[in-house]
Amino acid sequence: MKQESFAMSMLLDYYGSLLTQKQKTYFDLYYNQDLSLTEIAEQEGISRQGVHDTITRTEAILRSMEEATGCVERANALRTNRAKILEAANALMQHEDPTVRLHAEGILTAVSAIKE
C-alpha cells in the first residue's frame, strides 16, 4: 500500500493543478496526510461514500492523465539515468589521464544543469 500511496502522491504532484479543489483536498488528505475516509468525511461534513467516490474518480483521472502523457514515468527514468551518469562520471574523475578527467568534469557540469 505504501508504494501505491507514493505513486498516487507523485501523480498528484504532477497533475494536481488540473483537478478541482475538492478533488485535490480529499486526495491529499487521504494519500499524503493519511486520514481515513471517515476522518475526511467528518472533517469535510460529507458522507464517507462521497469521499470514497471522489477519491476513486480522482485516481482514475490521474491514471488517465499519466497514461496519456507519461510525465511521471519519464521523470522517473530521467532521475534514474541521471544518477547513473553522475556515478559513472564521478568514477572517471579518478582516472589517471587528465584528458579523461576533463571530459568527466564536462559530463558532470552538463548533467548538473539537467533539472530533475
d(CA 58, CA 33): 16
d(CA 23, CA 44): 12
pLDDT (mean) for 102-109: 95
d(CA 102, CA 70): 36
Q: Which three cell numbers mark 51? A: 469521499
Buried/exposed 4-15: b ≥16 CB within 10 Å, e otherwise: eeebbebbbebb
Q: Quick one: pLDDT band at residue 3, thresholds 50, 70, 90?
A: confident
Q: Quick one: pLDDT band at residue 116, thresholds 50, 70, 90?
A: low
pLDDT (mean) for 99-108: 95
pLDDT (mean) for 2-23: 93
Contacts of 50 (CB under 8 A, 6+ apart): 41
pLDDT at 114: 87
pLDDT at 38: 97
pLDDT at 42: 97
Residue ranges of domains in the chain: 2-69, 75-112
d(CA 26, CA 35): 9
Instruction: Please write the tens of the pLDDT for every residue from 33-74.
Output: 999 999 999 999 999 999 999 999 999 999 999 999 999 999
d(CA 18, CA 31): 17
Q: Look at the domain 2-69 and name its fold.
A: Arc Repressor Mutant, subunit A (1.10.10)
d(CA 14, CA 69): 11
Residue 2 has pLDDT above 90, yes or no: no
3-7, 40-44, 104-108 — which is least confidently predicted? 3-7
**Gyration radius of the chain over CA positions:** 21
